[in-house]
Chains A and B, each alone.
Chain A
Amino acid sequence: MTRWAIIADLNRCVGCQTCTAACKHANATAPGIQWRKVLDVETGIYPNVRRAFVPVGCMHCDDPPCLDVCPTTATRKRADGIVTIDYDLCIGCAYCAVACPYQARSRVDRPAVAYGGRPMRHEHLREDPACIGVAQKCTLCADRIDQGLADGLTPGVDPAATPACVTSCIAGALHFGDVNDPKSNAARLLAENQHFRMHEDLATGPGIFYLWSGASDRESGFSDAPSMIAEPVGMAAVSPAHQQSWDWRAAANFVLGGAGSGLFVAAAAAITGKTAVIPMLTALALVALGLTCVWLEIGRPWRFINVYFHARRSWMSREAFAAVPFFGFGLAAAYFGSVVLAFAGAACALVFLYCQARILQAAKGVPTWRHHWIVPLVVTTGLTEGLGLTAIYSAIAGLQASTMQLLALALLVLIGLRHVTWQAYRGALGAEGAPTGSFKALDGSPFRLTLGHQLVPAAIVVAGLLADAFLPASLAVAAVFVVASGWVFKFTLIARAGFNQGFAVERMPARGAGDSAPGIKPGWTLS
């Protein structure tokens, strides 16, 4: 089966950006939007320094993370490996953008012009309203490939059937072809040269292959892993940067949605009868408010219904689906005071909460989100916040002492559980590495899930248990602390520690008769 791919010969590339400009011409991308660009990468310490130029863009992955996460099925993968976007389906949620480890996707929310004011004639002519507010990225010039094939041309050989970036490359660094066809130029280059793919460890199967070997190391392998450089200089465009797709509105969904679903679960479990109505309705209001916030963030809000198109694989679709019965059962439970309905609602709330956690885990482009420990951490955080809110409500409503004691004990358990999962998450992240900026954000937060910070509410709860008279007050104070630290953590996670993957070069290329050198993973650290 055909697998179109780009071969980038790093020995040849001079970083001239002709491909960048040609792509902008071919696709009429807005000022500042670059589907193809060439990175300027430097390694080493003076005077032993290497510099390389690395073309990047959509990798048209074998297993594209953007495809799985897309809630609308706007993102699809063709049989020939090309990943496409249906602009008419996309709601502009930017989930694909945070899922992409190659920062290949952009969203333009309003028509942009190079010089401000009115568009120039060519800008006006090539404006495409369909591209506004939706995800966009390299199409691999699929229209040229398709038309070329229809005309009997060979992509990668005939310029008219080859992506614009490849045909424009003045250094002959970019090649294109079917890597599954052993007779193709692309397959031959791969067979004859050592090569790597970016972020191979993420198992996305990217479709840009980088040739790096020179005359002296063509026959040898290499074992040096690219060095993590925590604070590289002059590499801002290469190092991880904070993702720009999801801001406080997305964070609000995780903060409010997590706490709201946790509150519903806790209220259903701990409070019975009409007393549970207020926390349940509060829970639903919080979730609704969170969803409203995220609705305000999407580029095409009036197409929001498309979010239900991909329940088979997208956790965002599943979250949306979970919200429907959650609200149904929740409202019904509040109205009828039914324990059964309340438990049904709680089950849906749990699913909703779990979906939120999985949404983050599926965002492969953000190392702090995609870690598998994020799932228990987000779930326990949501439950802890929910229990905390329940405790606050209990204190205010003056519920029975036994209920208060039960809530206090449960809160202690959840504080502990949340701390354990945090420790596991943070420890694993530190052991495996993550963007330096993420660590700084997580570790610099005013309320943290660390032992030192969490001992405070735990101690207050224990004090309340030891002195019954003070239990409601101490429980409320501790709960405020618990909820605040959970919310701060999630806000930090989304809006402060959400650094993207950045770029990495597995191997600095040999230049002519020179040698290759170890690569670099800038802006990453173990900690």
Chain B
Amino acid sequence: MQRATKRVSQVSTYCYQCVAGPDLLNVEIEDGVATQVRPNFSAADVHPAGGKVCVKAFGLIQKTYNPNRILTPMKRRNLRKGRDQNPDFVPISWDEALDTIARKLNDVRHDGLIDASGFPRVAASFGGGGTPTAYMGTFPAFLAAWGPIDMSFGSGQGVKCYHSEHLYGELWHRAFTVSPDTPFTELIISFGANVEASGGVCGVKRHADARRRGVRRIQVEPHLSVTGACSAEWVPIRPKTDSAFLFAMVHMLLHEVDRTRLDLEFLKERTSSAYLVAPNGYYLRHPRSGKPLVWDLKSARAVEFDKPNIDPALECQFNVSGRESGPDDTAWNHKNVSCRPAFAALVDHVRDYTPEWAAKICDVDAETIRSVACAFVDHAHIGETIEIDGKTLPFRPVAISLGKTVNNGWGGYECCWARTLLACLIGGLEVPGGTLGTTVRLNRPADNRWSSVTPGPDGFMHYPMNPTTRGEWLSRSPSRHAHRTLVPLAANSPWSQALGPTHLAWMMQKKGLDHLPEPTRPDVWFVYRTNPAISFWDTKAVSEAMAQFPFTVCFAYTRDETNHMADILLPECTDLEGLQLIRIGGSKYVEQFWEHQGFALRDPAVNPQGEARDFTWIATELADRTGLLEDYNAAINRGAGGVRLHGKGYDFSLDTAKAHSVETIWDASCRAASAELTDGAESQGLDYFRKHGFRVRRFSRSQWYLYPALATQRLRFELPYQERLLRIGRELSARLHEQDITWWDDQLAEYEAMPTWHDLQRRWETALAEGFGVDIADYPFWLLTARSMQYAWGGNAAIQLIHEVAGNVAGHGGVIMNPAAAARLNLAEGDRIEIASPAGKTEGAVLLRQGIRPDTLLMVGQFDHWATPFAKDNKAPCMNSLTPMMLELTDATGSGADLVKVAVRPIGGAA
């Protein structure tokens, strides 16, 4: 039927719903109503995925018009909080809502920003991987103006992220996230990395291109994930045994592969392999300079590692003299003591980690492990180079990627170490084709990996460890999870709190840990784009904890399980309604490494629904009502809104004395962005970005690789030997014991110079059995989870379209089980079952798939909603309510892994 002519227009915006973004899109508007999401093909030449967005972006139209949205500010009338309580929210005006919040904040400011325990009185929790900042306008400027904020109440950080990878990755190669150099690589060995579900548009496009090119990807994982489906081979490994497989690969390269097939030059020049290790496990150092010594084969004597024209030995033992520096200024002077290079120590360290040894642990044939290791070496192209943007760089087209539960929690250190070490053995770290870091968060500056490469001790990069030495160690951390006290690697950047042991903050709300400050509740808690009552572990305990918080402000899209406990709900403009400018391109999370960098505008596609307000307006109002306007504006001028408003040859700073409109703030930001991108030559503002959507300049592909930055400064990757970690571990141990803290002793054992293998399955089984007083044999299955591209990070379980299309992908809404295992329990497809761990239980439907180990169950995504409209009717199970928060299952970096043992029983009826 021919339609009446409508006024149709297009608005450019971006999607940053997941950490694998941002991506660019257009929204089609008919008569003022958003009707369609479309790719932004004007970005096809600058965006690695050709200006396309993934399925999640198509949920934004429904997200805008969802009748279940909160569209007016609301306040709670029932002062009792809990899952069983009706909050009795009633609409209020913006004035009343903002005045109520401001009054609370002003009270806090009056009482002091820090409470008696030394914790910030104001706390805030934001969702996945920092993506909320792309939607919260200038709220970061308000937080900066406010002062100390406690961000330790995690919404998934630490337990759902690549935690060990973040911390060790940053230490070793500025790799908050690690990625294969997919555009060049030939072989990817993927231990549970689910890039086809979590790698975003760029990841999907690049890996599809790589497959078309003939890349060989081997997926090592207990179930056949989407990524496994797209791989050349699937190796169904026993859950949480990946470290044994990786250690066996290291063994293969060092004990069964000819040395000449390793990149010995890389090991000598770009790693600490040649550093001599003294009897107490620390480097042997020059007595005066304190520099580590190496054995020079040319002069047959020990020399400082950075002496030119030497040929450092990697193997054998040497009698040498020098000084050994231990923890807390302990030192030993050695004369003619037998020392060996770190590489030789490594060879010895992995001697027993044979493929046969690993085979029994992993339930994978030794020959399969051998063939994978051999393929890794076969594809390494040792000695080859490639020219990138006029620079000749090593070419090593092999990479290993790690996924969640492999690279976090206990075992994360082992796996990250082995993966990075394997890359070093073939010279494939931070070179074309190899293993790359793609973003930096703990080191500064956070927007440029290259600039973050600064010289540190012993020829390595600087790393901003939290101090562990006597006198400098912080016995009281400015956060409720003690990140600066317990986790030196968490550093002290704006991101560090999120990289602390966030579950400790929740756990301690129930029972504090001995000799830490009293775990107080925050006076005010802000929540945005997160639902920790669903997305964290032991969701019952988390819900109970947040129900105790005295004043919670939730920026609310719909009612949900977290804002069920809120005092004030604020409806902010959603994705298609708000105005904001963000940085795009360069090198960001996952596979977001571009050949361009710049800025993109989130231009409102439609007018706000109801009483929803732009987040920048809300932030300005709060700043004004709390007397922080000047500091707030100053923070915006400094760049807290995403772009510094002044620079060389330009200054678009806002008058700090007055409140500015949303458009004024972002117009200044757009002008500053234009100036930044043109070195001050141009200064187009909001109108330009509204017309074009984005603005970029070239980002050299050579900057994808950190190797040249290190080589230029003659720096080395801090591998294989972790002398620094060994030292700080000993120091931390001393500090904690001085405070009579012994409950972190297991974690302190992880500070090894080279990690030894631990039986992680037994660790889990023992912790669960002892922690809950159960016979673990009654819980025969390992329960895992996997990301869903349709849902991951999106907070979109309430979107019907997403639910509908996700239903086409196996695994949503139920429990995936191997048919043989199901047959033993007389279970059939669709049967309703109860899944119980020692910590809790949930219900779901059996989904039979051959692509899963018989000893493993899988629940895709995060559900179990009970308050979120629409989502609560879908009855989808989630492992979060089954996974306990336990100190015993917390590693030294403060992270846990999504893993628990469960039992199942039929409860009658079909799904």
Residues of A within 8 A of B (CB): 9, 11-12, 14-18, 20-22, 24-26, 28, 31-32, 34, 37-40, 42, 44-47, 49-53, 87-88, 114-115, 117-118, 120-123, 125-126, 128-130, 159, 164, 167-173, 214-215, 233-234, 236-237, 510-515
* B851 partner, pick from A11, A51, A214, beta carbons under 8 A: A51
* A170 partner, pick from B201, B231, B853, beta carbons under 8 A: B201
Please name the residue on chain B nearest to A28 by beta carbon.
Answer: B35
Cβ of B54 and Cβ of A170 under 8 Å apart?
Answer: yes
Closest chain-B Cβ to A123's Cβ sits at a distance in Å of: 8
> Which residues of A are found within 8 Å of B68, using beta-carbon distances?
115
Could you tell me which residues of chain B, from 195 to 236, have a CB within 8 Å of some CB in chain A?
196, 201, 204-205, 208-217, 224, 226, 228-234, 236
Among B1, B37, B810, B820, the most chain A Cβ lie within 10 Å of the Cβ of: B810
Could you tell me which residues of chain B, from 30 to 62, have a CB within 8 Å of some CB in chain A?
30-31, 33-39, 41, 49, 52-55, 58-59, 61-62
A84 CA to B37 CA in the complex, in Å? Answer: 25
- 8 A–B contacts, CB within 8 A, in A order: A15-B229, A17-B55, A22-B38, A37-B808, A46-B820, A49-B850, A51-B229, A87-B1
Cβ of B34 and Cβ of A122 under 8 Å apart?
Answer: yes
Assess whether B625 is interfacial by the CB under 8 Å rule.
Answer: no
Closest chain-B Cβ to A196's Cβ sits at a distance in Å of: 18
A122 CA to B59 CA in the complex, in Å? Answer: 13
> Which residues of B are found within 8 Å of A515, using beta-carbon distances?
232
Cβ of B853 and Cβ of A46 under 8 Å apart?
Answer: yes
Closest chain-A Cβ to B304's Cβ sits at a distance in Å of: 45
Given A12-B212, A18-B58, CB of A122 within 8 Å of CB of B35 = yes
Cβ of A14 and Cβ of B208 under 8 Å apart?
Answer: yes
* A24 partner, pick from B3, B58, B215, B853, beta carbons under 8 A: B58
A172 CA to B205 CA in the complex, in Å? Answer: 7
* B819 partner, pick from A11, A159, A233, beta carbons under 8 A: A233
Among B68, B805, B854, B870, the most chain A Cβ lie within 10 Å of the Cβ of: B805
Closest chain-A Cβ to B211's Cβ sits at a distance in Å of: 4
Closest chain-B Cβ to A139's Cβ sits at a distance in Å of: 13
Assess whether B773 is interfacial by the CB under 8 Å rule.
Answer: no
> Which residues of B are found within 8 Å of A16, using beta-carbon distances?
54-55, 196, 204, 789-790
Cβ of A22 and Cβ of B58 under 8 Å apart?
Answer: yes
Assess whether B804 is interfacial by the CB under 8 Å rule.
Answer: yes
Assess whether B362 is interfacial by the CB under 8 Å rule.
Answer: no
> Which residues of A are found within 8 Å of B908, using beta-carbon distances?
none
Cβ of B231 and Cβ of A159 under 8 Å apart?
Answer: no
Cβ of A122 and Cβ of B33 under 8 Å apart?
Answer: yes
> Which residues of B are found within 8 Å of A50, using beta-carbon distances?
229
Closest chain-A Cβ to B2's Cβ sits at a distance in Å of: 10
> Which residues of A are found within 8 Å of B59, using beta-carbon distances?
21
Cβ of B852 and Cβ of A31 under 8 Å apart?
Answer: no
Cβ of B210 and Cβ of A25 under 8 Å apart?
Answer: no
Cβ of B228 and Cβ of A171 under 8 Å apart?
Answer: no
* A25 partner, pick from B37, B216, B229, B848, beta carbons under 8 A: B37
> Which residues of A are found within 8 Å of B893, using beta-carbon distances?
none
Closest chain-B Cβ to A13's Cβ sits at a distance in Å of: 8
> Which residues of A are found within 8 Å of B808, using beta-carbon distances?
15, 17, 20, 34, 37-40, 237
Please name the residue on chain A nearest to B209 by beta carbon.
Answer: A172
Given A25-B58, A114-B801, A173-B208, CB of A49 within 8 Å of CB of B226 = no
Given A21-B58, A25-B37, A46-B853, CB of A512 within 8 Å of CB of B216 = yes
> Which residues of B are found within 8 Å of A9, using beta-carbon distances?
212
A77 CA to B229 CA in the complex, in Å? Answer: 37
Closest chain-A Cβ to B906's Cβ sits at a distance in Å of: 17
- Closest CB pairs A-B (n = 8): A514-B232, A51-B229, A21-B58, A513-B216, A120-B65, A233-B848, A114-B800, A130-B1
* B36 partner, pick from A26, A38, A47, A117, beta carbons under 8 A: A26
* B801 partner, pick from A21, A47, A128, beta carbons under 8 A: A21
Cβ of B58 and Cβ of A49 under 8 Å apart?
Answer: no
A46 CA to B41 CA in the complex, in Å? Answer: 42
Among A40, A115, A171, A512, the most chain B Cβ lie within 10 Å of the Cβ of: A512
Assess whether B847 is interfacial by the CB under 8 Å rule.
Answer: yes
Closest chain-A Cβ to B626's Cβ sits at a distance in Å of: 36
Range for the number of chain B residues in contact with chain A: 35 or more
Closest chain-B Cβ to A510's Cβ sits at a distance in Å of: 8
> Which residues of A are found within 8 Å of B852, using beta-carbon distances?
46
A214 CA to B850 CA in the complex, in Å? Answer: 24
> Which residues of B are found within 8 Å of A511, using beta-carbon distances?
211, 217, 229-232
Please name the residue on chain A nearest to B806 by beta carbon.
Answer: A17
Assess whether B269 is interfacial by the CB under 8 Å rule.
Answer: no
Cβ of B204 and Cβ of A49 under 8 Å apart?
Answer: no
Please name the residue on chain A nearest to B215 by beta carbon.
Answer: A512
Please name the residue on chain B nearest to A211 by beta carbon.
Answer: B212
Cβ of A46 and Cβ of B854 under 8 Å apart?
Answer: yes
A34 CA to B808 CA in the complex, in Å? Answer: 10
> Which residues of B are found within 8 Å of A513, using beta-carbon distances?
214-216, 232
Given A15-B809, A168-B39, A173-B208, CB of A512 within 8 Å of CB of B849 = no
Please name the residue on chain A nearest to B805 by beta carbon.
Answer: A17
> Which residues of B are found within 8 Å of A39, using beta-carbon distances?
808
* B204 partner, pick from A14, A37, A514, beta carbons under 8 A: A14
A123 CA to B255 CA in the complex, in Å? Answer: 65
* B212 partner, pick from A11, A14, A32, beta carbons under 8 A: A11
Among A15, A129, A237, the most chain B Cβ lie within 10 Å of the Cβ of: A15
Given A17-B790, A125-B30, A170-B49, CB of A53 within 8 Å of CB of B229 = yes
Closest chain-A Cβ to B723's Cβ sits at a distance in Å of: 39
Cβ of B205 and Cβ of A171 under 8 Å apart?
Answer: yes
Cβ of A233 and Cβ of B67 under 8 Å apart?
Answer: no
Additional 17 contacts, C-beta under 8 A, given A46-B820, A51-B228, A122-B34: A12-B211, A40-B808, A46-B854, A49-B224, A49-B851, A51-B224, A88-B1, A120-B65, A122-B33, A167-B39, A168-B52, A172-B209, A233-B848, A237-B808, A511-B232, A512-B214, A513-B216
Cβ of B65 and Cβ of A122 under 8 Å apart?
Answer: yes
Cβ of B215 and Cβ of A46 under 8 Å apart?
Answer: no
* A125 partner, pick from B35, B790, B818, B848, beta carbons under 8 A: B35
Closest chain-A Cβ to B376's Cβ sits at a distance in Å of: 14
> Which residues of B are found within 8 Å of A51, using beta-carbon distances?
224, 228-229, 851
Assess whether B829 is interfacial by the CB under 8 Å rule.
Answer: yes
Cβ of A233 and Cβ of B30 under 8 Å apart?
Answer: no
Could you tell me which residues of chain B, from 272 to 316, have a CB within 8 Å of some CB in chain A?
none
A460 CA to B869 CA in the complex, in Å? Answer: 64
Could you tell me which residues of chain B, from 755 to 783, have a CB within 8 Å of some CB in chain A?
none
Assess whether B317 is interfacial by the CB under 8 Å rule.
Answer: no
> Which residues of B are found within 8 Å of A40, using beta-carbon distances?
808-810
The 8 A CB mask of B723-735 against A (1 = contact, 0 = none) is 0000000000000
A15 CA to B210 CA in the complex, in Å? Answer: 17
Closest chain-A Cβ to B238's Cβ sits at a distance in Å of: 12
Closest chain-B Cβ to A353's Cβ sits at a distance in Å of: 38
Please name the residue on chain A nearest to B28 by beta carbon.
Answer: A25
Please name the residue on chain A nearest to B6 by beta carbon.
Answer: A125
> Which residues of A are found within 8 Å of B805, using beta-carbon distances?
17, 20-21, 24, 34, 37
> Which residues of A are found within 8 Å of B810, using beta-carbon distances?
40, 42, 234
> Which residues of B are found within 8 Å of A42, using beta-carbon distances?
224, 810, 849-851
* A233 partner, pick from B49, B211, B829, beta carbons under 8 A: B829
Closest chain-B Cβ to A130's Cβ sits at a distance in Å of: 4
Given A12-B212, A47-B236, CB of A512 within 8 Å of CB of B67 = no
Assess whether B874 is interfacial by the CB under 8 Å rule.
Answer: no
> Which residues of B are found within 8 Å of A115, using beta-carbon distances?
66-68, 800, 870
* A512 partner, pick from B3, B54, B210, B789, beta carbons under 8 A: B210
> Which residues of A are found within 8 Å of B65, using beta-carbon distances?
120-123
Cβ of A233 and Cβ of B37 under 8 Å apart?
Answer: no
Cβ of A120 and Cβ of B62 under 8 Å apart?
Answer: yes
* B208 partner, pick from A21, A171, A237, beta carbons under 8 A: A171
The 8 A CB mask of B819-844 against A (1 = contact, 0 = none) is 11000000001000000000000000
A167 CA to B38 CA in the complex, in Å? Answer: 9
Cβ of A114 and Cβ of B204 under 8 Å apart?
Answer: no
